[in-house]
Amino acid sequence: MNDEQNSSNIEQKEQLSFSTIFDELAEIGELAPFLEEYMSRRFDWDEKYQRHIIDALYSSSSEVIPQVERYLLEKMCESLSFFIEYVKLCQQASLHPNP
């Protein structure tokens, strides 16, 4: 395979987009009701599954979903809390360096 064919194959693969059933349900506004009725227990305990669903809701939904916004805000607060605590430790270390 020459470089031109290889480049063409790479471009074709980049243009492909795969959608899941969750993406399809999010597009038509039925993912949240589906989760509430059939998958709420798994959504609550499986963090990887939860991230996948949130991603599908965020990227494929045509409307704003309050649960997604709340989830994203909670994650942002967790990250900022960690950052603030880390900065405090760094500030304390710089004020009281070990000899």
pLDDT tens across 42-71, in order? Answer: 888 888 988 888 888 888 888 888 888 888
Cβ contacts of residue 63 below 8 Å, gap of 6+? 29
pLDDT of residue 7: 55
- 47 lies in which domain range? 19-95
Between CA 56 and CA 23 the distance in angstroms is 5
Tokens coding 46? 């499986």
Prediction pTM value:
0.58
**Residue 11 domain-assigned?**
no
**Based on the structure, what is the number of domains in the chain?**
1
Domain annotation covers residue 58: yes
Q: For residue 42, what pLDDT is reported?
A: 87
Whether 2 is in a domain gets the answer no
Task: Quote the CA–CA distance of 18 and 14 in Å, as a whole number.
Answer: 11
Q: Residue 72 falls within a domain, yes or no?
A: yes
